[in-house]
Amino acid sequence: MSWNKHGRLHDIITWPEREEVDKYVYTPGLHGLELAKALMDGRILGMRCSDGKVYVPPKTFCPDYGQGELVEVKGPWRLQYYTVVYENLYGNRLEKPVVVGVIKPDDAVNGIIHIVNADPSKVYVGMELRPVFRPKEQRRGVITDIQYFEPA
Amino acid sequence: MGMVTNLFVKDRVAIVGAGITTFMRRALETSRELAWEAARMALDQAGLTLKDVDCVVIGSAPDTFDGVHLKGEYLADGSGAIRKPMTRVFVGGGTGVFVPVSAWWHVASGLCKTVLAVGEEKMSPAHPHPQYVFRYIWDPIIHRPLEPNLIWIFAMEMRRYMAKCGAKKEDIALVSVKNKRNALDNPAAQVAANITVDDVLKSEVLVWPVQELDVSPVTDGAAALVITSENVARQVTDSPVWIEGVGFTLDNQHWENRELAFPRYLNYAARMAYRMAGIERPWKEIDVAEPYDPFDYKELHHIEGLMLARPCEAWKLLKEGYFNRDGELPTSPSGGLLGVGNPIAAAGVMKVAELFWQLRYEAGKRQVKRPVHRAVANAWGDLMQAGTVIVLGN
Amino acid sequence: MSVTKLPGTKLSSKEMYSLPGLVESAPQAKYDFSAGPTISRFLQGLKEGKILGRKCPRCGRIYVPPRDYCEYCHVALTDWVEVPDTGTVHTAVVSYISVRRERLEKPEVIGVIRLDVPGYPPNSYEFAGLFHRLCVPPEEAMSDEVIGMKVRARWKPKEQRTGSILDIECFEPVR
Amino acid sequence: MPRRVGIIGVGWYGFRPSTPEVHFQGMMFESSHRAYADANVDPRKDVDVFVDCQEDLWEGVAITDEFAPEPIGGTLRPTFTVPGDGLLGVAHAYMLIRSGLADVVAVEAHGKPSEIRTLQDVYYMAFDPLHVRPLPTGNPFFLAGLDAQAYMQRTGASREHLALVSVKNRTNGLKNERAPYSARLTVDDVLSAPYAVYPLTRYDIAGFSDASVTVVLASEEAAKRFTDKVVWLDGIGFSTETGSGAVEWHTWGRMLSMRDAALMAYKLAGLAGSPSASFDLAEVEDRFSFMELLSLEELMLAKEGEAHRLLEQGHFNLGGPLPVNPSGGSLAMGVQLEATGLARLLEAVLQLRGEAGPHQVKGARKAVVATWRGVPTYTSAVAVLSAG
């Protein structure tokens, strides 16, 4: 190397490899397990922290490091911030643009991240939204049990 | 080496609290929750809250166990890095002991007064088996085509140790017997047991000479320490445990070009730590040790690297009971990785936590018989490369 | 540690897989590594049935596997050297499990081969060598005789070589 | 008095969209070799500790620390890895030297994104596996889109302002040999491009490039032994706002980690009064155009909500009162993964030595460098430097 480099690409081998396993299995965690049960039931939970503030989704412990107390959040939900994804990281256009929002229920201090099923040209900050759950038999207690949020 | 001793350190660095989760094969908790549980316990023990913490150091081994890229960032909030300076340090399996080592300079530099030092590993997410992750520790071009299993490299080292030192499998199995027995008194333990040498020799042969009971298990868990300046330590406790020496060394990646019977990477790191601590005869001056024991022969290997026994002689002393909890120089009184479990980075932190409790005479049934003043722990990592050492005193 | 009940919630395998809210995913992590000039040439050498090493102009060490630079002198390596495909067994083990931790039907013997490369005294801490399979029966691999045994590379037939470490099938005893 | 810490050598290799001629370790050797030559040190004798900055899944290797020592001269020496941006490695070097444990520390960081075939998937692997990763969001940079929208909403900065950042930086880059993405552009070029991730077009988003950068640091006494070309590291700060598993706790449209890091660095540097008057140049985060404006506000180099006004007035141009990203920033040089912070530090060091060439800021004596680790992290680092 250094002064005796070889630049001819013919001499350089490219070696395909990977760093993959067959799959990862992620457990839902302490609050996550309760959230999972609620989602299957069509409800969304948050956590109340020692200062009385409610955060969504519940994450077992609070930003003040104390344990959070589970509470149900009911909304109404509003679009707090949003973006529209038109292409992927490689610069390929998506078939259909995706609206992604930070969606905050009035009874919490922050919002969750989720998909907004709406025409990109019609979304605006403050827009009232409602969660649309998948049919009960398709729910598995995961975040995608909420199929998306749509204009209320 | 041009290394200077810590001329500028006027304020000593202390450990004032430790916390640990249960070590288990599968945890319900997410990785960040495990970190939170251990760190909360460490803060509670120290009588401190997160508000008192200035900086956070996180240790965790490959991201491909937990299945999260940029794992330090993922563990940040659980480890207390919520609007705080945080870095993650990484020397493979050596990480656990390296976390308090680097916390030392966070404090000794004067940048941070109170540091939360957290080790976490959740190995259970990786499928088909966490061992498969280790395929990716090998050189992608000249090693991976051989489809190596992790245990190969350990077996090769163990074989070398046996060949060079004349140790037999039954001599080495005694480490596993001792550590799993010690672990019976550890509430965190995953695989504590009263077993015999025969049980080890009859367990499933994985990669000869390594059998199932020669190896520590796959584990989920976390452990944490609270590390402070002398001033803070004096305010929160009457019995701080001082960090008296730190050492670390990384050998070359080409382990296939080196003798494996003696760990020179550890020996260099140990000399660095002992020099800083002013220790000239570690075999006399160290009262209790937690040598890194992911495999039983590794404890012997590391006892020798730490100069607690002469090269090739640790196995002989072991047979005499020298390293038992009531022996001359107790090693792995916690039960070690072989007995407590091996959530990689958390396991190293656990070893330091154990010495913290030993030096405060708080280890309960695990307390070693002899009086303790100074202790040493080490961890090892990478491709037989990384040595990390910490010397503690009370 | 006065606490006897520690945090942490254990799950059995069955409990874990039946948890509501369990998320499974298999992210893709694929790479195209440049082998760089040195390993590229080493692989080309294997295809030609040669083991190539590289020499440090400062300390004279011959490195196998070759590298771009000397890790002890921190200078670029210069000359290429073809080294013998013979050596002695440094360490040997018998694997009964696969990389995926499945039981192997036929155990595999693997080891480190200390190659007959000049410049390294016998029993030196450092040496030139390769990590590879050994074509030695498992019982023999477990005996004391295997350590120090003379071995030679068994090459794949020329037309089957691809420029890979697997162009050497294994190292076999020189009898 | 705490020990003073100086930068005594810098070296780099790459800064190209792809570098097939080198193995990643070859690239590390190249940059460290140059840095040691620049610092006039022998790594095998003079360097006490080696710090390497890299991340497993950027490298395609589990425990990539294994590959750290050989190429940078750290074999059988105190060497370790900080999985994080190079500036976080520099923070460790600063602490190692201030603690007295080391006199001379080398920090290497590298990124070879061209070798990551599934870069988008690898990015997504850093996302919270429970609450964010499973959503069909299409591009991991959507998180930056959310922050950009929130920032613009809060400050009134418009798309034109973002475009102006991109134009300024890509133009600055034309004079920089490390800037493959530099170009002569107009605001109209940017505005007429389709959105990639609203409100950002492709012009607002930095590309990737391969590079390794090495920096050699030393205590004041040790520095004198090797060179008189010292740039002082007056202060360093780093901070994390929240974890990637709790992105919902992030304050959208702000980068509080950068504010916290700046406060720490300024305090160590003993900066009093208005920081904006203290610097002759700033090399700040701009992997998304809006991040430059936000960074300037978090660094307190512009009042909250006013960075875009100053930008309009040419305040941050080369030749303006506070040149920002004279290198062209990431928009011109690309994002080198964990080497991004060191790429910017390198530029600042060369500027303060008067060796920046055609894009030299005349008479530069003091500089600030700020970097963020990128999506989906909320970790930043800030360094304050002064000429020797």
pLDDT 10s digits, B340-372: 999 999 999 999 999 999 999 999 999 999 999
Q: Which residue has the tokens 């195209």?
A: C32
Domain of A73 in residue numbering reads as 23-151
B319 vs B169, B173, B338, C147, CA distance in Å?
13, 10, 18, 26
Report d(CA D386, CA D368) in Å as an integer.
Answer: 9
Is the whole-model pTM more than 0.95? yes
Tell me which residue of D148, D259, D164 sits closest to D197, measured CA to CA: D148
CATH of the domain at A147: 2.40.50.140
pLDDT at B9: 52
Most B CBs within 10 Å: which of C9, C22, C135, as the mutation test of the B interface? C9
Per 3-state DSSP, chain B is made up of helix, strand and coil in percentages (nearest 5) of: 40, 20, 40
Question: Quick one: which H or E segment has residue B100?
Answer: helix B95-108
D96 touches D76 (CB < 8 A):
no
User: Is B2's pLDDT higher than 50?
Assistant: no
Contact list in B for residue C96 (CB cut-off 8 A) is 204-208
pLDDT, one tens digit per residue, over C12-69 is 999 999 999 999 999 999 999 999 999 999 999 999 999 999 999 999 999 999 999 9
- Which of B78, B111, B90, B356 lies closest to B225, judged by CA? B356
Chain A residues close to C68, C-beta within 8 Å: 1
Identify the structural domains of chain B with CATH numbers, from first to last: 13-127+217-393 (3.40.47.10)
Query: Looking at beta carbons, which pairs linking B318-327 to residues 24 or more positions away fall under 8 Å?
Result: B318/B171, B318/B174, B318/B175, B318/B178, B319/B171, B319/B174, B323/B178, B324/B178, B325/B182, B325/B366, B325/B368, B325/B369, B326/B368, B326/B369, B327/B369
Q: If we measure between CA atoms, which residue out of C121, C108, C113 comes closest to residue C51? A: C113
Structural domain includes residue A73: yes
Query: Which of A29 and B6 is assigned the larger pLDDT?
Result: A29
Residues D220, D230: Cα–Cα separation, whole Å: 9
D89 → chain B, closest CA residue: B87
What's the pLDDT score for residue B158? Answer: 97
Q: Is B28 in contact with A33 (CB distance < 8 Å)?
A: yes
Residue C5 confidence (pLDDT): 84
Q: What pLDDT band is residue A1 in, cutting at 50, 70 and 90?
A: low
Q: Which residues pair with B118 in a beta bridge?
A: B58, B224
Nearest CB partner across the interface for A29, out of B33, B50, B128: B33
Strands (E), D87-129: 104-111
Which secondary-structure segment (H or E) carries B210?
A: strand B210-211
Q: Does the CB of D125 have a partner CB in chain B at under 8 Å?
A: yes
Chains in contact with D, counting 3 or more C-beta pairs less than 8 Å apart as contact = A, B, C
Pairing label, strands C168-173, A128-133: unpaired
Q: What is the structure's pLDDT at A147?
A: 98
Over chain B, what is the mean pLDDT?
Answer: 96
Class of domain D5-117+206-387: alpha beta
pLDDT in tens, D144-183: 999 999 999 999 999 999 999 999 999 999 999 999 999 9
Q: Which two tokens stand for residue D380?
A: 């930043």
Q: Is the pLDDT of residue C3 over 70?
A: no
Residues of A with CB under 8 A from a CB of C: 1-6, 11-28, 30, 32-33, 35-37, 39-40, 140-142
Place of tokens 């055609």: D358
Q: Kindly report, residue by residue over D106-120, the tens digit of the pLDDT.
A: 999 999 999 999 999
A15 lies in a domain?
no
pLDDT above 50 (res B6): no
Of B27, B82, B133, the CB nearest to A21: B133
Inform me whether the pLDDT recorded for B1 exceeds 60: no
Do D265 and D142 form a contact (C-beta atoms < 8 A)?
no
Give the total number of structural domains in chain A.
1
Which of D2, D6, D3 is CA-nearest to residue D387?
Answer: D6
| CB pairs A-D closer than 8 Å | 133
Phi, psi of D260 (to 5 degrees): -65, -40
Q: What is the pLDDT of residue D252?
A: 98
Local structure of residue C13 (DSSP, 8 states): H
Token pair for C175: 């009898």
pLDDT tens digit sequence for B219-267: 999 999 999 999 999 999 999 999 999 999 999 999 999 999 999 999 9
Q: D57 vs C29: CB contact, 8 Å cut-off?
A: yes
The pair of structure tokens assigned to D310 is 């100053």
Cα B325 from chain centre:
18
Does the residue A8 lie in any domain? no
Does residue D19 or residue C123 have the better pLDDT? D19
What b/e readout covers B86-106, taking b as 16+ CB neighbours within 10 angstroms?
A: bbbbbbbbbbbbbbbbbbbbb
A133, B206, C69 from A3: Cα distances, Å: 63, 47, 12
Q: Is the pLDDT of residue B66 over 50?
A: yes
Q: Are residues B228 and B106 in contact, defined by beta-carbon separation less than 8 angstroms? A: no
Contact D371, D140 (CB under 8 A): no
C-beta atoms of B221 and C142 within 8 A = no
- pLDDT at residue B10, as a whole number: 58
pLDDT in tens, C108-123: 999 999 999 999 998 8
Instruction: List strands edge to edge, sheet with B114-122.
Output: B86-89, B55-59, B114-122, B220-229, B13-20, B241-250, B386-393, B374-381, B288-290
Q: What is the pLDDT of residue B7?
A: 42
Instruction: Give D362's contacts (C-beta < 8 A, 6+ positions apart).
Output: none
Residue A30 and residue D308: Cα distance in Å, rounded? 44
How much is the average pLDDT of D54-61?
A: 98
Q: Is residue A88 part of a domain?
A: yes
β-strand partners of C53: C81
Is A71 part of any domain? Answer: yes
Cα separations (Å) of D128 from C86, D124, D178?
A: 51, 9, 34
- In a domain, residue A117? The reply is yes
Q: How far is D121 from chain C (nearest CA, A)?
A: 6
Q: Is the pLDDT of residue C2 over 70?
A: no
Cross-chain residue pair D139–A87, CB shorter than 8 Å:
yes
Query: CB of C35 within 8 A of CB of C41?
Result: no
Mean predicted lDDT score pLDDT of chain D: 97
Q: Would you say residue A17 lies in a domain?
A: no
pLDDT tens string C123-150: 899 999 999 999 999 999 999 999 999 9
Give CA D143 to chain center in angstroms: 19
B233/B334 Cα distance (integer angstroms): 25
Assess contact for A81 and A140: CB atoms under 8 A: no
Look at residue D343 and give its three-state secondary structure.
Answer: helix
Q: What percent of chain B has pLDDT over 90?
A: 97
Domain boundaries, chain D: 5-117+206-387
Tokens of D28: 């590390």
Interface test with B, best of C2, C59, C93, C161 (most B CBs within 10 A): C93
8 Å CB contact of A30 and B28: yes
Name the residue facing B144 among A17, A24, A61 (closest C-beta). A17
Run of H or E including B197:
helix B197-202
Give me the mean pLDDT over the D279-297 stretch: 98
Nearest CA to CA, how far is A69 from chain D (Å)? 16
Given a cut of 50, is residue D6 above it in pLDDT?
yes
| Residue D383 and residue D236 in contact, taking contact as beta carbons nearer than 8 Å | yes
Q: Most D CBs within 10 Å: which of A18, A21, A34, A81, as the mutation test of the D interface?
A: A81
Q: Are strands D79-82 and D49-53 parallel, antiparallel or unpaired?
A: parallel
Strands of B91-160 (E only): list them. Answer: 114-122, 126-127
Residue D272: pLDDT band (50, 70, 90) is confident
The predicted structure's pLDDT at residue C122: 85
Taking 90 as the threshold, does the pLDDT of residue A6 lie above it? Answer: no
